[in-house]
Structure 1
Amino acid sequence: MTPTTARHPKTLLVIVAEAAIEKALVRDAQRLGAQGWTVGEVRGAGAEGVREGAWEADRTIELKLICEPAVADAIADHVLATYAPHYAVAMYLSDVRVLRPQRY
Structure 2
Amino acid sequence: MILATEKRVLFTVITEATLEQPLLRELDRLGVRGYTISDARGKGNRGVRDAAWGETANIRIEVICTRELAERVLEFLHKHYYANYAMVAFVQDVEVIRLDKF
Shorter-normalised TM range: over 0.9
| TM-score of the two chains, using structure 1 as the length reference | 0.93
Q: Could you tell me the percent identity over the aligned residues? A: 30
Report SS of the residue matched to 2:92.
strand
Q: Deviations over 1:32-72 (max 9, x none)?
A: 11110000001100111111234211110000000011001
Alignment partner, residue 56 of structure 2: 58
Structure 2's unaligned 5+ residue stretches are none
Q: 2:67, 2:14 → 1: CA distance?
A: 19
Alignment partner, residue 7 of structure 1: 5
Letter in 2 for 1:94: Q
Structure showing greater radius of gyration is: 1
Letter in 2 for 1:70: E
* Equivalent position to 2:76, from 54, 70, 78: 78
Structure 1's unaligned 5+ residue stretches are none
Report SS of the residue matched to 1:65.
strand
RMSD: 1.0
Alignment partner, residue 24 of structure 2: 26
Deviation at 1:97, TM superposition (A): 0.6
- Taking the TM superposition and a 5 Å limit, the aligned residue runs for 1:38-53 are 38-53=36-51
Deviation at 1:82, TM superposition (A): 0.7
- Paired residues, number: 102
